[in-house]
Amino acid sequence: MKNSPQVLSQLILNKRPDFKPKIAIILGSGSANLADKLQDVISIPYHSLPNFPISRVEGHPGQLLLGYLNKVPVICCQGRVHAYEGMQEKDFQLFIRILKCLGCETVLMTNATGSLRKDFQPGQLVLIADHINFHPMNPLVGINDDEFGPRFFPMDDAYDKKLRHSLQQTAEQLNISLPEGVYFSVLGPSFETPAEIRAFRILGADVVGMSTVPEVIVARHCGLKVAVISVVTNLASGLSEESITHEGTLHFAEKASHDLGRLLESAIEQLTN
């Protein structure tokens, strides 16, 4: 049990015993400044938690923030790990199950994506309605921990309909465009070739990225409700004359994080009802 999700969540709660978050937010590349909207914040660096998986990717500060967004207690994970960093199944399990053990019922995630559609330009927010998992691993391979969920479970409702509806309503009120799309997950870290992107498009994808899907799978296994908002940071390989760079993706993620912040801040109250 040493360094289990149960033990680590207790360590976290010891720092703020009266804190009872129902919502966790996992912030992807470049959208870290969304965290500025939190009030009355306690921050816990990932490295202070034994065995907590830590990202080395630029744009990910690596800390948990326990604070209030519009008076709603939320736990904000500033930074996430990626399979391309060599993270293993157990790392994704620990990351998400800590949130479950903290009492969260809903996880909102953001990420950076490449767009496979010319009508989804850089800066556009996309509400993920489904995914195609092209990662070579599934984070639940290995012995099943029945305490968290069953061996086999459905994924037809992975992206919660009610949450999506609520986020779209809020976006409409705020005049933020939020079309739905299908997320195609790749391992990375290389960006795709133009031929790969053409193939993914034929398979039904709208955006492509290197994160999120392992967390979604672990979250659904333990019954957490999930919503994901992607920020289009670039047109995918072959759709524009320019080569894709990590710096470019950070630039557009930061630009869009203003809208993302407004959207999540306004949506949060409704999501807890």
Q: How far is CA 198 from CA 50, 208, 238, in A?
A: 42, 12, 8
The catalytic residue among 4, 43, 70, 84 is: 84
User: Is residue 29 annotated as part of the catalytic site, yes or no?
Assistant: yes
User: In this chain, which of 112, 171, 176, 263 binds ligand HPA, going by CB under 6 A?
Assistant: 112
Contact assessment for residue 64 and residue 78, using Cβ atoms and an 8 Å cutoff: yes
112 in a known ligand binding site: yes
User: Is residue 60 annotated as part of the catalytic site, yes or no?
Assistant: yes
Site string for ligand HPA, 132-171 (x = CB under 6 A): ----------------------------------------
User: Is residue 234 annotated as part of the catalytic site, yes or no?
Assistant: yes
User: Is residue 211 annotated as part of the catalytic site, yes or no?
Assistant: yes
The catalytic residue among 9, 55, 211, 266 is: 211
In this structure, what token pair is assigned to residue 87? Answer: 């993270």
Contact assessment for residue 169 and residue 162, using Cβ atoms and an 8 Å cutoff: no
The catalytic residue among 9, 29, 237, 266 is: 29
Nearer to ligand HPA, 29 or 266 (CB): 29
The distance of Cα 25 from the centroid of its chain, to the nearest Å, equals 7
| Strand ranges in the chain using DSSP code E only, listed in sequence order | 23-27, 39-45, 63-69, 72-78, 106-115, 125-133, 180-185, 207-209, 225-235
Tokens 């899907």 appear where? Answer: 213
Contact assessment for residue 75 and residue 173, using Cβ atoms and an 8 Å cutoff: no
* Residues in region 189-248 near ligand HPA by CB under 6 A: 191-192, 208-210, 233-234, 236, 244
> Min. distance of Cβ 252 from ligand HPA in angstroms?
9
Cβ atoms within 10 Å of 179's Cβ, excluding its own: 15
Q: Which residues are annotated as a binding site for phosphate?
A: 29, 60, 80-82, 112, 211
- Residues lying near ligand HPA in the complex (CB under 6 A) are found at 112-114, 186, 191-192, 208-210, 233-234, 236, 244, 249
**Residues with catalytic annotation?**
29, 60, 82, 84-85, 112, 210-211, 234, 246
